[in-house]
Chains A and B, each alone.
Chain A
Amino acid sequence: MKNALDRIVRSQVWRSIFRHGLPDSNRSRAETVFYNFFLHLHPTKVRKRSIKFTYTWGLGGMSFGLFIVLVVTGALLMLYYRPSVPQAYWDMKDLQFVVSSGTFLRNMHRWAAHAMVALVFLHMLRVFYTGSYKPPKEFNWVIGVVLFVVTILLSYTGYLLPWDQLSFWGISVGTNMIHAMPFGVGDKIAFLLLGGNIVGENALVRFYVLHCFVIPVVAIVLMAIHFWRVRKDGGV
């Protein structure tokens, strides 16, 4: 058994993928981080003090974890959802009564979304109270604030998609706030966002595209920069 594992790890196929053996020595542990696309955002060694849970409370990492959960559950929900009136609502009902574990899937997506808004906010507070926005990390704080706004927009655009009373009036109240912007700018923005003057079928399609494609892409790009800068500025 040990022998077989050893042969696999030494094989050309394994080496072409991982370029190093199992992480059983400090050298190969360092290589595991160094040669891995996902892990290379981390340094190969970290200060023992800075990986204590209470140092960051893991809030940023858990926000990212929630984002992954949301991408996975969101992709599955897309299989059962059509962004049209009134089909969107009947697809919700199908999720509830026809699709296996449909309710569970939707619950997971919904609660993860609410939790993400809360955790990103808490992460922002943690960064403020530990003074982690100070030079040289000023600009990463700015990216973080933008990511907080993006998180809220992601949650908000998803709020319309079930097309029930809650989502329709929640979005109506929110988009009415946009009208308050002066010089007719608000009316223009609201019209652009809704594809009309009221929340209707056009608005549903627009929110769907924003929710499932545009804003997630923006979020992923900003997150990549955010994590990369954390690392460059000496964080974990």
Chain B
Amino acid sequence: MAKDFNVERNSDAKKVPKRIAFIKDRTRARVRQEEEEMVMTVPNLVAKEIIAFEILIIVLVMVSLFVDAPLEWIANPEHTPNPAKAPWYFLGLQELLHYFPPIVGGVILPGLVVVALIIIPYVRINLKTDGMWKDYPQKTLIGFLVFVGGVTVVLAMFHVYAMLVPTLLMSALMLVPYFVRREGGVIGWLGTRPLSWWVMTWFVVMAVVLTTIGTLFRGPEWRWTWPWNGIY
């Protein structure tokens, strides 16, 4: 990057009486508000907490009055239901097991997810706030294409179209601000999203898609079943 101007580097205040601050764009100078408006915790915050808790209880009571928790027949090891399903928060995992061998779907991928979540604040990429195409767009593009290509090959190999289609759709969305440089609007907003934002959003989309399919769209033999003629 070309410098816009030169700064006299001299610490002798007699020779260089005037100093200028050199502020990079990414650490944009902000006037810190000295006097933030403060309020007393009691009653301002505590009252809000109590109201939130009360609304929570009211909603829970309403749901519990009208919707009964499921209770099937007594456990019978001789009689396996078809399909046998784990609780809903594990159905994304169970859906993965349908595509990948158990060691990948049941151990490696969930293990990687937990490790990836834990190390987020210690990885530099998650501390950057620039849009992903801001610095080194060409290099980023090459890395991006290699990664998406690799993921595409693996997902296609195992026929995981449930992950492949949303992945490709999201990749296309990520590429839009690379080709269309625009400041405002939706495209401008997409352009300001950092890489970590995209990775997390991709993870969330995958988790939601897989869990939804596992919960609502899987019937006997884990075959694709529409919810309205499925087991619900």
How far does the Cβ of B230 sit from chain A's closest Cβ, in whole Å? 16
Q: List 14 A-B contacts (CB under 8 A).
A: A29-B43, A39-B42, A45-B40, A49-B37, A62-B52, A69-B60, A85-B75, A145-B114, A148-B117, A152-B89, A164-B72, A170-B87, A180-B107, A186-B107
| Complex interface: stretch among A1-9, A108-116, A208-216, A219-227 | A108-116
List 8 additional A-B contacts (Cβ < 8 Å) besides A48-B39, A104-B65, A173-B86: A42-B41, A45-B41, A46-B38, A47-B36, A106-B69, A129-B197, A133-B120, A180-B102
Q: How far is the CA of A165 from the CA of B36 in the complex (A)?
A: 57
Task: Give CA–CA (A233, B82) in the complex, Å.
Answer: 50
Number of interface residues of B (CB under 8 A): 63
Q: Are B38 and A48 in contact (CB under 8 A)?
A: yes
| Chain A positions within 8 Å of B64 at CB level | 104, 107-108, 111
From B84, B94, B103, B127, give the contact of A180 (CB < 8 A). B103
Contacts of B179 in A (CB 8 A): none
Q: Mark B50-85, 1 if CB is under 8 A from A, else 0.
A: 001100110011011101111111111101110011
Contact A155 B71 (CB under 8 A): no
* Across-interface contacts of B182 in A (CB, < 8 A): none
Bound-complex Cα distance A138 to B39 (A): 28
Closest to B70 in A: A166
Indicate if A98 sits at the interface (CB-CB under 8 A).
no
Q: Whole-angstrom distance between the alpha carbons of A114 and B70 in the complex? A: 13
Encode B192-232 as 1/0 by CB contact (under 8 A) with A.
00000100100010000000000000000000000000000
> A45 near B67 (CB under 8 angstroms)?
no
Interface residues of A in 125-166 (CB under 8 A from B): 125, 128-129, 131, 133-135, 137-139, 141-142, 145-146, 148-149, 152, 155-156, 159, 162-166
A51 to B41, CA, bound (A): 9
From B67, B88, B126, A133 is in contact (CB under 8 Å) with: B126
Chain B residues, CB < 8 A from A49: 36-37
> Which residues of B lie under 8 Å from residue A165 when comparing CB positions?
72-76, 79, 81
Contacts known (A167-B75, A174-B86); A69 close to B57, Cβ less than 8 A: yes
Task: Kindly name the residue among A45, A86, A159 whose own CB sees the greatest number of chain B CB atoms within 10 A.
Answer: A45
Q: Does A177 belong to the interface (CB within 8 Å)?
A: yes
Does A89 contact B69, Cβ atoms closer than 8 Å? no
Q: How many A-B residue pairs have CB under 8 A?
A: 194
Residue of B nearest to A182 (CB): B103
CA–CA, A42 and B46, complex, Å: 9
| Secondary structure class of chain A's binding surface, majority of residues | helix
Q: Is the CB of A92 within 8 A of B56?
A: no
Across the interface, do B71 and A162 meet the contact criterion of CB distance under 8 Å? yes
Interface residues of B (CB under 8 A from A): 36-46, 48-49, 52-53, 56-57, 60-61, 63-65, 67-77, 79-81, 84-90, 93-94, 97, 102-103, 105-107, 114, 117-118, 120-122, 126-127, 129, 197, 200, 204
- How far apart sit A172 and B41, CA to CA, in the bound complex (Å)? 48
- B121 and A65: CB pair below 8 A? no
- On whether A33 and B41 interact (CB within 8 A), knowing A164-B74, A166-B72, A168-B76, the answer reads yes
B106 engages A169 (CB within 8 Å): no
State whether A66 and B121 are in contact (beta carbons under 8 Å apart), knowing that A32-B42, A39-B42, A96-B71 are contacts in the complex.
no
Tell whether A195 is near chain B: CB-to-CB under 8 Å.
no
Question: Which B residue's beta carbon lies closest to that of A53?
Answer: B48
Residues of A within 8 A of B84 (CB): 169-170, 172-173
**Is the beta-carbon distance between A47 and B41 smaller than 8 angstroms?**
no
Query: Is A26 a contact of B81 with CB atoms below 8 Å?
Result: no
Is A168 within 8 A of B121, CB to CB? no
Closest 4 CB pairs of A and B: A168-B75, A180-B102, A138-B121, A107-B64
CB neighbours (8 Å) of A112 from chain B are 60
Interface contact A62-B72, CB-CB below 8 Å:
no
Q: Given A89-B75, A133-B121, A29 and B89 touching (CB < 8 A)?
A: no
- Among A30, A49, A148, A166, max chain B CB count under 10 A is at A166
- How distant is B158 from chain A, measured CB to nearest CB, in Å? 16
